[in-house]
Amino acid sequence: MRALVVYESMFGNSRTVARAIVDGLRAARVDVELVNAAEAATPRGDLVELLVVGGPTHAFSMTRHGTREDAVRQGGAAAAAGSGIREWIDQVHKGPHSEMVATFDTRVGKMRHLPGSAAKAAAKALRKVGYHTLVASESFYVDDVAGPLLDGEEERARAWGERLGATATSRAPA
């Protein structure tokens, strides 16, 4: 089983989650590569069987240029403001695609009762271009805009990655 994890992150929290997911996938014996959305090439179904996409929730959805600029004004990394998972998904050609897909996001724990989630928006956008989502999207929670991740979230991300790897392996064609 080969996987690609595509992430974006303004303050580093989604990167920490992405790395934990990679650790979990590796524990499930998945061969995985981690790439930043700004640098990731279009996925190829002949190279990976599982695609994991995630990043921060901004304004109840995936980031946009304007929200990333806003994040920079609040101390986020200017180098990360150029492009995110929304733009990466936008450049994927319409399928059907053979890869199984899972999405994650980070968002503020205090706002967990609110519906907006970058992971859900990403799953919807990926389905629209012809991907099959393997599991429900997952959110990991931060304390505030800059983080940090709430206690236990990094471990939860690793466990989610491991379960995802096991599920994907069991669904893959022999």
Give the x-and-dash track for 116-145 against ligand FMN (CB under 6 A). Answer: x-------------------------x--x
Q: Per rule CB under 6 A, is residue 13 in the interface with ligand FMN?
A: yes
Q: Closest separation between CB of residue 86 and ligand FMN, Å?
A: 13
Q: Which is nearer to ligand FMN, 150 or 159 (CB)?
A: 150
**Of these, 24, 43, 84, 147, which contacts ligand FMN (CB under 6 A)?**
147
Q: To 10 degrees, what angle do helices 13-27 and 153-171 make?
A: 40
β-pairing, 31-36 vs 50-56, is unpaired
Beta carbons of 119 and 137 less than 8 angstroms apart? yes
Q: How far apart are CA 52 and CA 89, in angstroms?
A: 12
**Given candidates 31, 41, 74, 127, which one binds ligand FMN under the rule CB under 6 A?**
74
Q: Which string of x and - marks every residue 19-58 that binds ligand FMN (by CB under 6 A)?
A: -------------------------------------xxx
12 binds ligand FMN (CB under 6 A): yes
Which residues contact residue 144 at a Cβ distance below 8 angstroms, ignoring those fewer than 6 apart?
108
Burial state string for 137-170 with b = 16 or more CB within 10 A and e = fewer than 16: bbbbbbeebebebbeebbebbbebbbebbbbbee
Give the span between the Cα atoms of 10 and 12, in whole angstroms.
Answer: 6
DSSP-H helix ranges across 28-114: 65-73, 85-90
The nearest distance, CB 25 to ligand FMN, in angstroms, is: 19
- Applying CB under 6 A, the span of 39-47, 95-103, 107-115, 164-172 interacting with ligand FMN comes to 107-115
- Which residues, at least 6 apart from 12, have a Cβ–Cβ distance to it below 8 Å? 77, 147
Q: Which is nearer to ligand FMN, 62 or 100 (CB)?
A: 62
Question: How many residues touch ligand FMN (CB under 6 A)?
Answer: 23
* Residues at the interface with ligand FMN (CB under 6 A): 9-14, 56-60, 67, 70-71, 74, 106-108, 111, 116, 142, 145, 147
